[in-house]
Chains A and B, each alone.
Chain A
């Protein structure tokens, strides 16, 4: 479960607030899509959740483990701990897939599980089967299409059974049809794996597939259909 409380982040150069007292709660198996204008802070929000950047204020907690506030206030939570947190609890899906060109599809997907040390070949096979990429397992990346690569990236993000998946424009580099298929698979597999999902996207079609479709505007999250975030999710989401 992801919990964000009173998160603050300003532009480092101008000091203008980018994220201002943002609140969000996503329970296990639930998904949230975040839309917004370019430069409104969507990717920054994901970076803060992933621990790539440190917030100016507020708290981010995954499964009760507070990352952001600890990283600032508690010296014991160091860079190594954040690395470890990502390895254990986080799965990331990038817009440009970011697979390793030195590996084939199977090894790319298995990488995160091997990193975490919980390799489960049956689970990986099932995931790949579910995503329709099992026949591509031994193929080098150069022989895979964009959609196939993104499906591999989704499998890589899920294979080590993380608590939370962050997806930054997962369909940004794909055509409409492929985008539809990939986003369906992303939401479906996350749901089945009981993993929380936060998707940043410009695509309305993708956004509506999430349990809650939110928009980042002036540093705060608001519901796309003007309902309160609490109403869009089965569990309460605080967004302000």
Chain B
């Protein structure tokens, strides 16, 4: 049996050798499909690993003990005392800022935290506990090297560890070299992306550190930090100026102090704090306070909300495109298989006639397919790896600038990836090619001849109507992201089926209208009708790719239009200031140096919506988990009103709603929140746990006095309604449990989270500390109404005023402050550029899919052409010139594409509608109006036809149908 199988297989391979372009087409499709699959797999893996790394704080994951008084410092002596008393879970750290540049590039003046860590206890506890043995040497440098080598083993999400690492150099020159660790995300960020503040950061003050760090990439290091041995930290002669060391506890013991005088310098070396490798109880803290004689506090880093912001939209986009590419590739492979089997039919019949069983034949055909997969998949994987590596900088830039997330080069198991690709490809192929292979294996089985029953136009029309009706009904049942995506698949498949129904009918119809006086053209059209049944699968692949292309482009274009209009209206002020200066400092400007301009800060807080109900309903405790929202201030002046973009307002009466808003009687919520809560206009939102936004050290502080957590002890005495101008205490941001009526719902494109706009006066608070923490760092600057026209009306004047303003702001706020002043137009441009950048990758994949489909379509047709060489030879024999034959073939294929493209337009538009109204609605909780742009649609169609035309030129150019009197034209 094995011998028969091998013989059959060798016969099949001999057939493949005879017509190599057929298996080549199959393998090309498998290569492309796998390249796409692996690329998407790697990009998603990189994004996931980046997200996980971002959420991981490495060394500082535990709690940190610092003096309660920010002016006080621990010393080395304190550290020794504590460890002697059994606090071996404490690890001394010292930190300061350093300004660094990437090696070999322009100085970017990136300021990172240099964290010196006592590595000795780490080796004994953390790594010992994880099953690693500490090295025999006690030398800290060696220990750190050991740390860096083993850090990878200690973390599941460890990034690729380079032996050489990244070399970081301070701007001040090189005095000595040390080893260090750097977090993968920090490493990724050091590729120096364009940020809004980059220009200003170049002039940032530079606390230099005269060393070169050979930094090993490890997630053990905290982000934005270079982790080094504490000995190396102090090796550069570091002293912290203006900080007097806190005296040791036992100062009264003069003798001991005298004995230690020689070591005083060392003992007084200040430490930033101690990392507690295991959390300390209150009793432990009291014990430490007694031992050291100073109050201490324990800060536990809260990583719950710090899981990064991996854009689901991005991932969804990629998977959708990858799925699309997979489907297209599958169609291509199946089409190629069908073509190959069609030409092999006579030989297969001969094999069957010679006694090869149906089973052996099927096994041999599957084995042949497996051979093609095994050859093609590694090539596809290689291309996929290359493509992912090539795309990495673009993705990284997009992630950093747009999503504030980080993309890392993923670490994947090659064998697993190969296995995954092979299994996926083979299963898909086996399942979908089963019919073709069984059909071929049954070559000798006599079946009753089927009557050719071509559907009439009426039947085709009726079936189409029913299919469309069912599709519209199915759309009503979409209620989640999964069902929305399922509906997209259903839409594509239904449209494909309809195309298969309509293509022969349309081409037949076309045949009737072509004048018979043009015999060659008539032949072209008539033959296209026949071709349409032979190239069904290729047409499907092309159709799906083009439909998706039109759908995606229309969706993106609609999104772009909506975003641009929305931004144009929302950016009401002529200037926007981005700064790290405290709010109180900026607010003094309006009264002192910049009187003609009015400053409106953007204040932000965070909170949780615990319920949403109609006003008349009794308040019931909801079982739904709280929805975390961002609470933003919105100005109540007329410019604010003009800039307000609302999808829906109560009674469609903007004036009344605006008045209520300014009086603090209600709020506006974004679409995302409205969809998430199913909140309607007039509903009341119950809010609780309003907190200040995260500060630099990731800690959050409650602004609500009733909450358990306080930002500082003095906040306890603050009157919740102090400073509020609103009429209702419950509408104030600082109320115990605010209840806000929904006055309007506004679009908020690009935001993945819920947001509430609250009138600016509701944020009023006399406490400057809280106001500073509420301040988002963004300030709208606009002229007072009297001079508004002069400022906004003239661009030149605008630019002139921007320069003056910028200078004034710098001089007032201090040169060391981060100040970025943008005109409205510049901000709009930047936003739209960011928008466009977001879709670069999608566009790339989109065009690639189209290219793949186009190439496959053209190659399929070329293979068919080779198959129909006899007919072409007859044409030549009857006196049709070579050029005319080529031109007619070209026209024929292009026409087939054109008809497919015409059918793809309505379905593409419908797909865009589904993307916007269903997929976006359920995946991201936002929708926007569908805008149809003929240019966008035509460019998709034009591009697809251009791709097919270009691809066809090569095989058609080489086509030379040889006239052979004995050649048979098979019917």
Known: A97-B969, A168-B966. A103 touches B877 (CB 8 A): no
- Number of residues of chain B lying within 8 A (CB) of chain A: 29
**Which of B18-26, B520-528, B630-638 participates in binding chain A?**
B520-528
Known: A87-B878, A102-B529, A107-B526. A94 touches B519 (CB 8 A): no
1/0 per residue A20-50: CB within 8 Å of B? 0000000000000000000000010011001
A96 touches B879 (CB 8 A): no
**Shortest Cβ distance from residue B971 to the other chain A in the assembled complex, whole angstroms:** 5
**Shortest Cβ distance from residue B12 to the other chain A in the assembled complex, whole angstroms:** 27
B526 touches A115 (CB 8 A): no
Partner of A115, one of B519, B530, B963, B969: B519
B969 touches A99 (CB 8 A): yes
Known: A110-B516, A142-B971. A86 touches B879 (CB 8 A): yes
B530 touches A102 (CB 8 A): yes
Tell me whether A208 is interfacial, beta carbon within 8 Å: no
**Nearest opposing residue in chain A for B516, CB measure:** A114
Tell me whether B874 is interfacial, beta carbon within 8 Å: yes
Known: A43-B965, A99-B969. A79 touches B516 (CB 8 A): no
Known: A102-B526, A111-B523. A47 touches B881 (CB 8 A): no
**Shortest Cβ distance from residue B895 to the other chain A in the assembled complex, whole angstroms:** 14
Tell me whether B880 is interfacial, beta carbon within 8 Å: yes
B881 touches A94 (CB 8 A): no
1/0 per residue B526-537: CB within 8 Å of A? 110110000000
A114 touches B874 (CB 8 A): no
A52 touches B882 (CB 8 A): no
Tell me whether A207 is interfacial, beta carbon within 8 Å: no
Interface residues of B in 370-406 (CB under 8 A from A): none
**Shortest Cβ distance from residue A223 to the other chain B in the assembled complex, whole angstroms:** 24
B871 touches A79 (CB 8 A): no
A101 touches B516 (CB 8 A): no
Tell me whether A225 is interfacial, beta carbon within 8 Å: no
A79 touches B882 (CB 8 A): yes
Residues of B within 8 A of A124 (CB): none
1/0 per residue A81-105: CB within 8 Å of B? 0011111101010111111111100
**Shortest Cβ distance from residue A32 to the other chain B in the assembled complex, whole angstroms:** 17
Interface residues of B in 448-497 (CB under 8 A from A): 452
Residues of A within 8 A of B968 (CB): 96, 98
Residues of A within 8 A of B871 (CB): 98, 100-101
**Nearest opposing residue in chain B for A96, CB measure:** B968
**Shortest Cβ distance from residue A51 to the other chain B in the assembled complex, whole angstroms:** 9
Tell me whether B870 is interfacial, beta carbon within 8 Å: yes
Tell me whether B138 is interfacial, beta carbon within 8 Å: no
Partner of A79, one of B527, B530, B881, B966: B881
1/0 per residue B954-971: CB within 8 Å of A? 000000000101111101
Interface residues of B in 850-897 (CB under 8 A from A): 870-871, 874, 876-882
**Shortest Cβ distance from residue A112 to the other chain B in the assembled complex, whole angstroms:** 6
A86 touches B523 (CB 8 A): no
Residues of B within 8 A of A95 (CB): 965-966
Tell me whether B517 is interfacial, beta carbon within 8 Å: yes
Tell me whether A2 is interfacial, beta carbon within 8 Å: no
Residues of A within 8 A of B969 (CB): 96-101
**Nearest opposing residue in chain A for B877, CB measure:** A92
B881 touches A46 (CB 8 A): no
Known: A98-B870, A99-B969. A115 touches B879 (CB 8 A): yes
A114 touches B517 (CB 8 A): yes
**Shortest Cβ distance from residue A184 to the other chain B in the assembled complex, whole angstroms:** 22
1/0 per residue A50-74: CB within 8 Å of B? 1010000000000000000000000
Partner of B878, one of A79, A92, A97, A110: A92
**Shortest Cβ distance from residue A172 to the other chain B in the assembled complex, whole angstroms:** 9
**Shortest Cβ distance from residue A120 to the other chain B in the assembled complex, whole angstroms:** 13
Q: Which of B519, B520, B529, B530 has the most CB of A within 10 A?
A: B519
Residues of B within 8 A of A88 (CB): 879
- A141 vs B874: C-alpha distance when bound (angstroms): 16
Q: Which of B517, B527, B963 has the most CB of A within 10 A?
A: B963
Residues of B within 8 A of A102 (CB): 523, 526-527, 529-530
A94 touches B874 (CB 8 A): yes
Residues of A within 8 A of B518 (CB): 114
**Nearest opposing residue in chain B for A157, CB measure:** B878
Residues of B within 8 A of A96 (CB): 966-969
- A103 vs B969: C-alpha distance when bound (angstroms): 13
Interface of A is mostly: helix
Partner of A83, one of B517, B880, B971: B880
Known: A43-B965, A141-B971. A103 touches B523 (CB 8 A): yes
- A111 vs B526: C-alpha distance when bound (angstroms): 12
Partner of A87, one of B529, B530, B879, B967: B879
Residues of B within 8 A of A46 (CB): 965
Residues of A within 8 A of B870 (CB): 98
B971 touches A101 (CB 8 A): yes
**Shortest Cβ distance from residue B467 to the other chain A in the assembled complex, whole angstroms:** 28
**Nearest opposing residue in chain B for A115, CB measure:** B519
B516 touches A107 (CB 8 A): yes
Known: A100-B523, A107-B522. A50 touches B877 (CB 8 A): yes
**Nearest opposing residue in chain B for A84, CB measure:** B879
B519 touches A111 (CB 8 A): yes
1/0 per residue A113-125: CB within 8 Å of B? 0111001000000
**Shortest Cβ distance from residue A91 to the other chain B in the assembled complex, whole angstroms:** 9
Residues of A within 8 A of B519 (CB): 110-111, 114-115
Residues of B within 8 A of A85 (CB): 879
Known: A100-B523, A102-B527. A90 touches B879 (CB 8 A): yes
- A83 vs B530: C-alpha distance when bound (angstroms): 26
- A87 vs B881: C-alpha distance when bound (angstroms): 10
Residues of A within 8 A of B877 (CB): 50, 52, 86, 92, 98
- A92 vs B831: C-alpha distance when bound (angstroms): 70
- A46 vs B966: C-alpha distance when bound (angstroms): 11
A168 touches B965 (CB 8 A): yes
**Shortest Cβ distance from residue B535 to the other chain A in the assembled complex, whole angstroms:** 14
Residues of A within 8 A of B516 (CB): 107, 110, 114
**Shortest Cβ distance from residue A154 to the other chain B in the assembled complex, whole angstroms:** 14
- A110 vs B452: C-alpha distance when bound (angstroms): 26
Residues of A within 8 A of B530 (CB): 101-102
A86 touches B878 (CB 8 A): yes
**Shortest Cβ distance from residue A24 to the other chain B in the assembled complex, whole angstroms:** 18
A111 touches B878 (CB 8 A): yes
- A142 vs B530: C-alpha distance when bound (angstroms): 12
- A103 vs B881: C-alpha distance when bound (angstroms): 20
Q: Which of B871, B878, B963, B971 has the most CB of A within 10 A?
A: B878
A98 touches B874 (CB 8 A): yes
Residues of B within 8 A of A86 (CB): 877-879
- A52 vs B527: C-alpha distance when bound (angstroms): 25
Interface residues of A in 152-184 (CB under 8 A from B): 168
**Nearest opposing residue in chain A for B520, CB measure:** A115
B874 touches A83 (CB 8 A): no
17 A-B pairs (CB sep. < 8 Å): A46-B965, A47-B963, A50-B877, A50-B965, A52-B877, A52-B963, A88-B879, A95-B965, A96-B966, A97-B969, A98-B877, A100-B526, A101-B871, A101-B971, A112-B879, A115-B878, A115-B879
Binding site for A on B (CB under 8 A): 452, 516-520, 522-523, 526-527, 529-530, 870-871, 874, 876-882, 963, 965-969, 971
Which 6 pairs of residues, A with B, have the shortest CB-CB distance? Answer: A87-B879, A114-B519, A86-B879, A102-B526, A96-B968, A102-B527
Q: A87-B879, A110-B516, A115-B878 are in contact. List 17 more A-B contacts (CB 8 A).
A: A47-B965, A50-B963, A52-B965, A80-B881, A83-B879, A96-B967, A99-B969, A101-B871, A114-B516, A114-B517, A114-B519, A115-B519, A115-B520, A115-B879, A119-B517, A142-B452, A142-B971
